[in-house]
Amino acid sequence: MPVADIRHYSQLESAMEILARSKAFLARRPWWMNGLLLFCLYMTFIYVPWDFFSKPVAEAEEVWFGFMLTGMAARATEPLHWLIYLAGSIGFWQMRPWMHPWAGLYCLQVAIGMLVWNLLYDSGGGLLGGLLSALPFVILSASLWRAHWRFQFGCEAQR
């Protein structure tokens, strides 16, 4: 077998091994939890750094419990969102026990924020819009609460 063929076979074998490891890694959690992991990674490493470092303070906006902060107040609280997404990234990646109950409670806070936002702001959809936009986060919060056993022993128990 020529050297080029051996190298190609070795690269193919490496790619298959990476694929198998990735599949096993993702199989440790349900699809919706993998979605949360990807969302947290995106927010931690792409969106929040871009938002924090590229937007002028005058354009900064952060929402907490449905109340929008703007300007310097938003910029001052943005690192807290960054830390929350970083904690989510680490927690979902390693399936850490401390994620229960905090991930579910944070999703519930988002649900409350969706309802409050829709009730307070002209751009909101009122009570019906608030309830409809909060519902997916209530379901997600309940799903995280019910999945507490997945976080019970961290990533070591799932190997």
Q: Please state, in angstroms and rounded to a whole number, the distance separating the CA atoms of residues 43 and 136.
A: 19
The answer for residues whose C-beta is within 8 angstroms of residue 109's C-beta and 6 or more apart is 65
Q: What percent of the chain has pLDDT over 70?
A: 90
Is the pLDDT at 16 greater than 50? The verdict is: yes
Mean pLDDT of 57-82: 96
Let me know the angle formed at the C-alpha of 28 by 14 and 158, rounded to the nearest 5 degrees.
Answer: 100
Could you give phi then psi for residue 94, rounded to 5 degrees?
Answer: -100, 0
pLDDT in tens, 3-13: 555 566 677 78
pLDDT at 138: 98
Could you give phi then psi for residue 78, rounded to 5 degrees?
Answer: -60, -40
Handedness of CA 34, 40, 46, 51 (dihedral sign): positive
